[in-house]
Amino acid sequence: EGSVRGYGIRVASSALGSDSWVDDPITRHVISLHIEKEEEEMSTLLWPLILHTKGPYRILILPLVEPAHLEAYKEMLQRPDCGNSVGMEEGISSLLLDLPCITG
């Protein structure tokens, strides 16, 4: 969606539940991947995926996160206000800084 194209901010074509719906500039490199299996009616969310493009190279990183952080992100994707301002509680930036894989 928007983040894959390099935006990471909400645009007119952003859909509820998408990465750019969260509307935070840090999501330019942090994306999620939704995998749906029609025959099993199952849906899987991989988050955070860090996507970095440099010249002809693309680096994709899938760090380990705690289930509580994934649930917080899922809730953020469905909120109409798309999260609070940067630095406030319950914002995407605060959530990312709280991840053990980021801060150690």
Per-residue pLDDT of the chain (104 residues; tens, 9 = 90+): 444 444 455 556 666 666 555 555 555 567 777 888 888 788 888 888 877 777 888 888 888 888 999 998 888 877 766 555 544 566 777 787 888 876 54
7 assigned to some structural domain: no
24-52 CB burial, b ≥16 within 10 A, e <16:
beebbbbbbeeeeeeeeeeeeeebbbebe
Q: What domain count does the chain have?
A: 1
11 assigned to some structural domain: no
70 assigned to some structural domain: yes
